Amino acid sequence: MLAVAMRKTRPLTIAVLAAMASLTACGGGGASRTISFNSASCGGTWTLAKPGWHTFELYNANDVGGEIDLIDPRTSGIYAEVAQFGPGTTQTMSLDVGSGRYAFRCLFEDTDPMTGPAVTVPGHVKGFTATVPVTNNELVGPAKAYQVYTAAGLKTLVGQTETLASDLQRGNLAAARRDWLPAHLTYETLGAAYDAFGNFDDEIDGRADALGVSNPHWAGFYRLEYGLWHGQSAAELMPYASKLVADVRSLLATWPTMEIPLIDIGLRTHEILENALEFQLTGHDDYGSGTTLATTLANIQGTRELLSLLHPLLVTRYPGLPGVYTWLNRLQTLLEAEHQPDGTWVPVAQLPESARQDIDAACSQALQELAPIASIAEPRNT
């Protein structure tokens, strides 16, 4: 049975995600007859005469939903998967089938896992490589390590926000502007934990999108940034700084009772940088300091932390892993080039067009390289 709640349809496969540009509707192998799945039969008898690109048409004849995996029956490695396979629906599964052994595995709700008959595809042709699933147990260690990493970051953050509040208490706006950024960057390195933080994340790092910059209920880092770079006095900002300190202290105290879902360990490797592309590299989250490029670097640091924890699991499962580091390094170099000798950062809106295009392209390519990790590192009991 699946160990995690099934999400929106991810109709293709671990392998296909890495080769999306090559995907064709039916390919050289053509489409097979419809293969039916139910609680008594996981695909029944089917054949495939030769290797090559092939599209399977799958029909869920069951009265419940589930997931269908195409596996190597020897290793249980997954070639392809269809998630959120609703009752009475038909979906397709496309992949480059190589010579070897294949079988369908059915993971229907409220039903024990089933594996259908094994099928041999003749020849000596290489196709997609099956990826051995990551189990819940294999992710417990990385999750615990990330729990410790986050606790250390929050402890640092408490001290940094206290320094920021002290600056404002003394009326030293220049010092507050100096100390705001390192505190905010510390928080931005903890991206895999944001969902676990719950309402604390909105209070500490919420944007003004819904409330507006004049709403007194808007608080947190961005509220202080807005005030510090829009001429507001220390007295005006002191209540927001005090609240920020209180919220960070409360989060640190509560953190030992919180838990990061195992599925998030892999998922956030992509989502942290995806959010950076949407909100930081567009300048959306610049409330006056012009430091969203620095924030993106902090997001890269958070991504690297997750990758380091997952590396033992990914290095044998994801051939594209070196490309992840190549493009993260490329993006980091481009961002660091915009850090000025006086310590300031070039705001996104002031970047030369060529520099902005290079940064966006590097980030987009890094995201493409990161994309398969969420599927590869999805925890399974099987």
- Any idea where the domains of the chain sit in the sequence? 14-131, 137-380
Residues 331, 362: contact at Cβ < 8 Å?
yes
Question: What is the residue type of 78?
Answer: I
CATH of domain 137-380: 1.20.1420.20
Cα 104 from Cα 44, distance rounded (Å): 9
User: Which pLDDT score is estimated for 33?
Assistant: 77
pLDDT score recorded for residue 382: 54
Place of tokens 């590299």: 281
Q: What is the β-pairing status of strands 52-60 and 90-97?
A: antiparallel
User: Mapping DSSP to helix (H, G, I), strand (E, B) and coil, where does residue 147 land?
Assistant: helix
Query: How long is the chain?
Result: 382
CA pair distance 115, 117, nearest whole angstrom: 7
Regions of the chain with pLDDT less than 70: 1-32, 381-382
CB distance 104 to 13 below 8 Å? no
Residue that is written with structure tokens 């926000």 in the block: 161
pLDDT of residue 6: 28
- Residues contacting 139, CB < 8 A, separation 6+: 262, 265, 266, 313, 377, 379
pLDDT at 380: 78
Identify the CATH assignment for 14-131 out of 3.40.720, 2.40.350, 2.30.30, 2.60.40: 2.60.40
Please name every residue paired with 379 in a beta bridge, in sequence order, or none if there are none: 134
Matching CATH topology for 14-131 and 137-380?
no
In sequence order, which residues have a C-beta less than 8 Å from that of residue 359 and are 6 or more positions away? Answer: 281, 293, 331, 334, 335, 351
Name the pTM for this structure: 0.83
Q: Tell me if 155 sits within 8 A of 181, measured CB to CB.
A: no
Q: Token digits for 289?
A: 């300091």
pLDDT at 32: 56
User: Any idea what DSSP says for residue 276?
Assistant: I
Residues 266, 300 contacting (CB under 8 angstroms): no
pLDDT the model gives residue 83: 87
